[in-house]
């Protein structure tokens, strides 16, 4: 598919000012000069401010926002020559690095859509992602080159693979019967250049793929304006300043790292440290050594950190705030007290940014927060009718201002229409709204366990089991029942060197969970399958099902 066809798949022309940012609960003023409406102009305006050029360290490499902005401006004309037609996609299969950041910014300046891919993708998924994006160009780290080349014969649109190898030069070769040229990314800046096109606020900037746990991954179409809204919203909510130094362990194919860490650091002039992996044992030492003042979290990070052995220096660091979700309600206040860190939680998704805010001055622990002024939120039943206050249903969202929601799913108009039925975006999340307007996330609709006529929340089960002092991680999911519907199964990762049996887990759950929600099956495992953003890949656990080493409560007569 040619890039002009890709452009038609992406968007209809509808440019806007991009300045209609509405302050939400907990927001504070952001840097005054951030009025740009595209990523490229935003980078230039941020670099021109009269602020210190705060130090960044990206996977151990020193740089800064101003330096990356300048380098990306130099690279952009060469990037534009890769895909001279405006709006073409380029896939990035790269780990967190200054090179990936520089390339992301250069693509945005050149009006090219960057499509960062999950580096943990297997062969089938990788082939699907590149084909679904319609990319003619793939940029990859050298460690992923063999994977890309193995799929090249099955990717008829692919013409160019640029390889990032920081150690040695990559020779130019051809593969797939001469159709695909492989060359060194380092030589790109010395090659042909092209004039930069005019980029509009509502042009698609990025395609981020969902994890695809219940089906093929879907490409979420995000505009320049949407991405800047998310950056500014997070920056204001957290009150970051040039005195801050942010820390992220999340990958750059995820919106968390891109917009609420990298973007927020640029927006506010803050320093930034990024690592490729989360290390619980080294986390606080890293924060001390790097003078970190704020970090982002997701998944089970907070529970894992809280389960570390208490130390006399638990509060001996500069961290003042953390941003993310979800921190288990039962450790929320104890975590803040133990480590001296104030938590701000949000509820949202790739498609709709941070829909709800739960800032310290107006929060309810255990909730995702109240809806931001930029969004309307309802809880609806299976017919899309609003449910009573406090009742469970699906969380649906729509924006109150332009540019605050994704454009659609790439090449999947039916999925876009289905998600937007009755003029509300259906998140696929089950939740409830209390009498004070706080939205409580319960679980994914597809993650609910239906057992003997009752819907059971996997989130509730996990929250309870996670409270056991010998449990490091847990995942609850459905497995087929010999009667009908499903049974509850949990896979548990014990804390290292701490004794734990399935019977211990069940005893702990008894009285804390309803009889319906008590797990029938318990399996102790060394690790859970996780995405790079620390989310459990439950589809893999469901596919594995009940194994020979799984403990069966009913079989033991408990």
487-497 per-position pLDDT tens digit = 999 999 999 99
CATH architecture classification, 371-446: Roll (2.30)
- Between 466 and 299, the more confident residue is 466
Where in the sequence of the chain do the CATH 2.30.38.10 domains occur?
Answer: 371-446
Between CA 411 and CA 427 the distance in angstroms is 19
Domain 64-218 CATH superfamily: ANL, N-terminal domain (3.40.50.12780)
**Residue 358 pLDDT > 80:** yes
**Residue 17 pLDDT > 70:** no
Is the pTM higher than 0.85? The answer reads no
Contact yes or no for 355/375 (Cβ under 8 A): yes
Q: What is the mean pLDDT of the segment spanning 522-549?
A: 90
**Residue 18 pLDDT > 50:** no
**Residue 356 pLDDT > 90:** yes
- Residue 85: predicted pLDDT: 80
- Reported as a single tens digit per residue, the pLDDT across 252-275 is 999 999 999 999 999 999 999 999
HSE at residue 347, side-chain half, CA atoms within 13 A, is: 30
Positive or negative, the Cα torsion across 126, 130, 136, 138?
Answer: negative
Cα 195 versus chain centre, distance: 33
Question: How confident is residue 212, by pLDDT bands cut at 50, 70 and 90?
Answer: low
- Between 448 and 167, the more confident residue is 167
**Residue 58 pLDDT > 50:** yes
**Can you point out the beta strands (E) in 224-349?**
245-248, 271-274, 294-298, 321-325, 342-349
**Can you point out the beta strands (E) in 238-285?**
245-248, 271-274
- Residue 479: predicted pLDDT: 94
Q: What is the mean pLDDT of the segment spanning 147-163?
A: 97
- Reported as a single tens digit per residue, the pLDDT across 389-400 is 999 999 999 999
Helices (H), 269-308: 283-289, 301-306
Query: What is the chain's mean pLDDT, rounded?
Result: 90
Cα–Cα distances (Å) from 159 to 128, 132, 187, 553, in that order, read 16, 15, 17, 56
Where in the sequence of the chain do the CATH 3.40.50.12780 domains occur?
Answer: 64-218
Contact yes or no for 305/298 (Cβ under 8 A): no
**Residue 247 pLDDT > 60:** yes
Where in the sequence of the chain do the CATH 3.30.300.30 domains occur?
Answer: 449-555
Contact yes or no for 251/274 (Cβ under 8 A): no
For 335-358, letters b (16+ CB in 10 Å) and e give bbebbebebbbbbbbbbbbbbbbb
- Between 154 and 125, the more confident residue is 154
- Residue 471: predicted pLDDT: 96
- Residue 532: predicted pLDDT: 75
CATH class of 449-555: alpha beta
- Residue 26: predicted pLDDT: 37
């Amino acid at each position: 598919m040619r890039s002009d066809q890709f452009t038609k798949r992406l968007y209809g022309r509808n440019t806007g000012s991009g300045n209609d940012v509405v302050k939400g609960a907990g927001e504070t003023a952001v840097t005054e000069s951030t009025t740009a409406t595209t990523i490229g102009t935003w980078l230039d305006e941020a670099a021109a401010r009269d602020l210190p050029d705060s130090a960044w360290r990206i996977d151990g490499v020193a740089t800064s926002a101003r330096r990356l902005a300048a380098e990306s401006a130099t690279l952009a004309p060469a990037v534009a020559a890769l895909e001279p037609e405006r709006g073409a996609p380029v896939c990035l299969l790269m780990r967190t690095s200054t090179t990936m950041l520089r390339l992301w910014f250069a693509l945005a300046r050149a009006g090219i859509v960057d499509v960062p891919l999950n580096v943990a993708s297997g062969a089938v998924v990788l082939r699907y992602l590149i084909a679904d994006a319609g990319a003619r160009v793939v940029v990859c780290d050298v460690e992923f080159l063999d994977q890309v080349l193995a799929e090249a014969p099955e990717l008829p649109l692919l013409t160019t693979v640029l390889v990032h190898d920081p150690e040695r030069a990559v020779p130019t070769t051809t593969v797939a019967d001469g159709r695909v040229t492989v060359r060194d990314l380092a030589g790109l800046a010395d090659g042909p250049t092209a004039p930069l096109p005019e980029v509009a606020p509502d042009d698609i900037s990025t395609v981020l793929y969902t994890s695809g746990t219940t089906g093929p991954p879907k490409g979420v179409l995000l505009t320049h304006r949407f991405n800047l809204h998310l950056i500014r919203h997070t920056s204001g909510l957290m009150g970051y300043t040039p005195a801050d130094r942010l820390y992220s362990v999340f990958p750059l194919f995820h919106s968390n790292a891109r917009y609420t860490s990298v973007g927020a650091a640029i927006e506010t002039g803050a320093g930034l440290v990024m690592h490729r992996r989360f290390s619980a044992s080294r986390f606080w030492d890293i924060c001390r050594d790097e003078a970190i003042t704020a970090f982002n979290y997701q998944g089970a990070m907070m529970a894992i950190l809280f389960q570390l052995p208490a130390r006399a220096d638990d509060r001996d660091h500069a961290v003042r705030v953390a941003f993310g979700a979800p921190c288990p309600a039962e450790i929320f206040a104890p975590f803040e007290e133990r480590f001296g860190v104030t938590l701000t939680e949000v509820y949202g998704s790739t498609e709709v940014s941070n829909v709800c805010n739960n800032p310290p001055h107006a929060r309810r622990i255990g909730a995702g927060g109240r809806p931001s002024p930029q969004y309307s939120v309802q809880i609806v039943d299976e017919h899309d009718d609003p449910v009573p206050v406090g009742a469970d249903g699906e969380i649906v969202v729509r924006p109150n201002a332009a540019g605050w929601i994704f454009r659609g799913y790439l090449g999947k108009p039916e999925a876009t229409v289905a998600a937007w039925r009755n003029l509300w975006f259906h998140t696929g999340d089950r939740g409830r709204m209390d009498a004070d307007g706080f939205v409580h996330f319960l679980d994914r609709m597809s993650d609910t366990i239906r057992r003997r006529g009752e819907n059971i929340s996997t989130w509730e089960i996990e929250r309870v089991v996670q409270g056991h002092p010998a449990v490091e991680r847990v995942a609850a999911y459905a497995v087929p029942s010999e009667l009908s519907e499903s049974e509850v199964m949990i896979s548990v990762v014990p804390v290292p060197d701490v004794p734990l049996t399935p019977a211990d887990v069940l005893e702990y759950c008894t009285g804390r969970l309803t009889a319906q929600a008590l797990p029938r099956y318990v399996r102790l495992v060394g690790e859970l399958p996780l995405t790079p953003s620390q989310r459990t890949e439950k589809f893999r656990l469901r596919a594995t099902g009940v194994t020979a080493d799984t403990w069966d409560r009913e079989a033991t007569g408990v």
